[in-house]
Chains A and B, each alone.
Chain A
Amino acid sequence: MALMLSALWHSLPSKPFVTFGSANPNLRVRCTVGIRSNDDLSHCSAIPLQLKPSACDRRFVRNNCSIKATKASKGDVSTASTKCGETAMLVIDMQNDYVLSESPTRIVGANAIVPSVIEAVSVAREHGVLVIWVVREHDKKGRDVELFRRHLYTDGVGPALQRSKGAELVEGLVIQDDDYKLVKTRFSAFFATNLDLLLKSCGINNLVVVGIQTPNCIRQTVFDAVSLDYKHVTVITDATAAATPEIHLANIEDMKNIGISTRTLHDWRMTFKL
């Protein structure tokens, strides 16, 4: 029996990983095998299943969703193979007060990217990518906003106040059950939030970022992601925006220079089909 299993194993085509059953209903052995068929299984580890359904279960449900490697240059950490279950999409600050043309605190280029962000989220969900809605929600006195913006908060009025219409996501963007909402009070989604802990506990190694605005919240988030050793960090260039195209492009260049992948929505979608 053992010989038969061994022969069967070695005859199987290479797969990125294989899942075995276990007598313990709370355990599933998940092994990452190499591309050579004679790798042994000594590096397999048992990973406990979540006992309750959660956003992290996506990892076990859609483990057949791999993005193959594209040609990577030395030091380029952006184009190696990614697995959907290890990827999260951060949708940053797509809120009424920052997007709608009638808002005094809008980012000028933001309205134009709403359809792209909607599509990016749809593609992410289709492929089992965890969607995290990162939003600002501020105290009406501005006590939790950056010093240089506190003057915007007077008489109980200000941008992205907690429970206000301005803090809601723009029309077309809807948080679904499997998604996660994260509130931040500074530029970076990692700054003084539980985002890193959440991602690591979900086994997320790769990030895809959309939203606004490129020089501030997008940039600070992705630079922090690189500092925190996320393996692949991608910014979708036509689903992010700044006040002007010049600012947007200059920041995209700087991100490229530290190994962040900067793709159009179309190109990012195509990586799922390789």
Chain B
Amino acid sequence: MTAHLTLLAALVFLLLSFDKRSLFQYLKKKILIINLEPRRLDSAPMATVCCNWNETALLVIDMQNDFLLPEMGSPMLVPGAKAVVPAVAKVVSLARERGIFVIWVVREHDPSGKDVELFRRHHYSNGKGPTMKGAKGAELVDGLKIRDGDYKLVKTRFSAFFNTHLDAVLKGSGIKRLVIVGVQTPNCIRQTVFDAVALDYEHVTVIVDATAAATPEIHSSNIRDMKNVGIATPTLQEWTCSGA
């Protein structure tokens, strides 16, 4: 009994005399490396030590032909948005390298328009309308492809969380941090990230040059509002370097 107490006292003395800060940082590094095993089943290389990518998901929102390509003749075209396609492709590529969960959020609507917002229903007649399920207009633009291990989520309103199971998918995968790219800033991007904040996602990031609106003024005023509720708004370059 005395020997045990002596041993215990010695251990306590040792612990108290340790440089706890260094010990903690050492342990943190060790734990982080263990946690950075790639989630995906593909052959993506193991991520370098960084910030919680296994708890991060990338939402790629509405990068579909009808919203981006003028030649589709869609009333839902976001003028100029096609310019962000290369940046979005780059983010997706980087996300995959880092083992970030990639979720393709798309609109797919009924030809009668019965599942679209009221103020857009007049765009749907004679079996035609924007981003109809199965139509070319609803497909992802050239250069963006869903791969094994990614996830496709269909929505029918602005926010990717509205009436979808997105929150369940994310929470079930242990996701606490979101990165968002796509179109368009004042509607689907904004509603999604504000809902993400309301749902207590710990870190929400919008990559400012991989998102777009009809005009630069609309884009920047919405980015400002997002900053004001704690959303991070880096450029692609900044996000590439920080890995947040």
A residues with CB within 8 A of B: 74-77, 146-148, 186-188, 191, 215-216, 220, 223-224, 226-227, 229, 231, 246-247, 250-251, 253-254, 257-259
Q: Is B194 an interface residue (CB 8 A)?
A: yes
Determine if A146 and B200 form an interchain contact, defined as CB atoms under 8 angstroms apart: yes
Q: Given A77, A148, A187, A227, which contacts B157 in the complex, CB threshold below 8 Å?
A: A227
Residue of B nearest to A226 (CB): B117
Q: How far is the CB of B51 from chain A (nearest CB, A)?
A: 17
Q: Given A76, A146, A246, A257, which contacts B198 in the complex, CB threshold below 8 Å?
A: A146
Determine if B118 and A77 form an interchain contact, defined as CB atoms under 8 angstroms apart: yes
B residues with CB within 8 A of A: 117-123, 157-159, 162-163, 186-187, 191, 194-195, 197-198, 200, 202, 217-218, 221-222, 224-225, 228-230
> Could you tell me the dominant secondary structure of chain B's interface residues?
helix
Determine if A147 and B202 form an interchain contact, defined as CB atoms under 8 angstroms apart: yes
CA distance A227 to B161 in the complex (A): 12
CA distance A75 to B118 in the complex (A): 8
Known A-B contacts A148-B229, A148-B230, A227-B158; the reply to A75 vs B119 at CB < 8 A is yes
Residues from chain A with Cβ under 8 Å of B200 in the complex: 146-147
Determine if A247 and B118 form an interchain contact, defined as CB atoms under 8 angstroms apart: no
Determine if A188 and B119 form an interchain contact, defined as CB atoms under 8 angstroms apart: no
Q: Given A187, A223, A247, which contacts B158 in the complex, CB threshold below 8 Å?
A: A223
Residue of B nearest to A227 (CB): B157
Determine if A216 and B229 form an interchain contact, defined as CB atoms under 8 angstroms apart: yes
Determine if A74 and B122 form an interchain contact, defined as CB atoms under 8 angstroms apart: yes
Determine if B225 and A251 form an interchain contact, defined as CB atoms under 8 angstroms apart: yes
Q: Given B122, B197, B218, B225, which contacts A247 in the complex, CB threshold below 8 Å?
A: B225
Q: Which of B119, B200, B221, B228: most chain A CB closer than 10 A?
A: B119
Determine if A253 and B218 form an interchain contact, defined as CB atoms under 8 angstroms apart: yes
Known A-B contacts A227-B157, A227-B162; the reply to A146 vs B120 at CB < 8 A is no
Q: How far is the CB of A240 from chain B (nearest CB, A)?
A: 15
CA distance A77 to B122 in the complex (A): 10
Determine if B119 and A76 form an interchain contact, defined as CB atoms under 8 angstroms apart: yes
Residues from chain A with Cβ under 8 Å of B187 in the complex: 223, 254, 258
Q: How far is the CB of A128 from chain B (nearest CB, A)?
A: 24
Q: How far is the CB of B163 from chain A (nearest CB, A)?
A: 8
9 A-B pairs with the lowest CB-CB distances in the bound complex, closest first: A148-B230, A259-B119, A250-B221, A186-B198, A227-B157, A215-B225, A254-B186, A75-B122, A77-B119
CA distance A191 to B194 in the complex (A): 11
Determine if B118 and A229 form an interchain contact, defined as CB atoms under 8 angstroms apart: yes
CA distance A231 to B118 in the complex (A): 7
Residues from chain A with Cβ under 8 Å of B198 in the complex: 146, 186-188, 191, 220
Determine if B194 and A257 form an interchain contact, defined as CB atoms under 8 angstroms apart: no
Residues from chain A with Cβ under 8 Å of B163 in the complex: 227
CA distance A226 to B163 in the complex (A): 13
Residues from chain B with Cβ under 8 Å of A215 in the complex: 225, 228
CA distance A259 to B226 in the complex (A): 22
CA distance A220 to B190 in the complex (A): 10
A-B CB contact pairs (8 Å), 22 listed: A75-B120, A75-B123, A76-B119, A77-B119, A191-B195, A191-B198, A215-B228, A220-B194, A220-B198, A223-B158, A226-B117, A227-B159, A227-B191, A229-B118, A250-B218, A250-B222, A254-B186, A254-B218, A254-B222, A257-B186, A258-B119, A259-B118
CA distance A251 to B217 in the complex (A): 12
Residues from chain A with Cβ under 8 Å of B222 in the complex: 250, 254
Residue of A nearest to B185 (CB): A254
CA distance A247 to B198 in the complex (A): 21
Q: How far is the CB of B110 from chain A (nearest CB, A)?
A: 14
Residue of B nearest to A231 (CB): B118
Determine if B162 and A187 form an interchain contact, defined as CB atoms under 8 angstroms apart: no
Residue of B nearest to A255 (CB): B186
Residues from chain A with Cβ under 8 Å of B122 in the complex: 74-75
Residues from chain B with Cβ under 8 Å of A188 in the complex: 198
